[in-house]
Amino acid sequence: MSRFTILKIESDHADLHDLIRRLDEDLLERYPADQIYLVDFSNPKVKNMIFAVVYMDGKPVACGGLRPIDTEEMELKRFYVDSSYRRQGIAVSLLSFLEEEARKRGVVRINLETGAAQPEAIAFYTKQGYEPIERFGEYEHDENSLCYGKKLSLSL
């Protein structure tokens, strides 16, 4: 039986912002600040994003979001599992949850951006079926960005 729960939450949720702050601290240990792509929560388009938080024994331990690119594609954003809670199936469950949310909206592809200083993320995404793609959107000219994509299978 799973000891964690995944909840869809609003963009202004305090637990989401706390987890993203921890993600940003982790990223700042790996990259210069100008190489980190943040979510501007003051942008009205953030309301179109899907966010989820994972709770384990009532404590927020992971988060992730999906940003619409167009009607058929979304971008995985701010995907993070607290280091103390990794290797327990949380990331796989959260990614599956977000992929299903995307499918419900008719999305057929999810793209994402990461960097070479996150080998564990690259290994995770490729294991989940994400393949290297051309840099897209705001990452197009950023040589430090590594982009991946996955065509979603139809729901059964």
CA angle, corner 49, sides to 44 and 54, nearest 5? Answer: 130
Contacting residues for 89 by C-beta, under 8 A, at least 6 apart? 2
Q: Look at residue 1 and tell me whether its pLDDT is greater than 80.
A: no
134: its two tokens: 């051309």
Interatomic CA distance for residues 155 and 98, integer angstroms: 13
**Whole-prediction pTM value?**
0.91
* Whole-number pLDDT of residue 153: 85
Are the CB atoms for 51 and 8 separated by under 8 Å? yes
pLDDT tens by residue, 41-54: 888 878 889 999 99
Q: How confident is the model at residue 155 (pLDDT cuts 50, 70, 90)?
A: low
Phi, psi of 3 (to 5 degrees): -95, 10
> How far, CA to CA in Å, does 144 sit from each of 14, 25, 117, 118, 132?
31, 19, 9, 11, 14
When mean pLDDT is compared across 34-43, 92-101, 146-155, the lowest value belongs to 34-43
Q: How confident is the model at residue 35 (pLDDT cuts 50, 70, 90)?
A: confident
What domains appear along the chain, each with residue ranges and CATH number? Answer: 4-151 (3.40.630.30)
> How far, CA to CA in Å, does 141 sit from each of 37, 40, 69, 102, 125?
13, 20, 18, 27, 22
pLDDT tens by residue, 70-127: 999 999 999 999 999 999 999 999 999 999 999 999 999 999 999 989 999 999 999 9
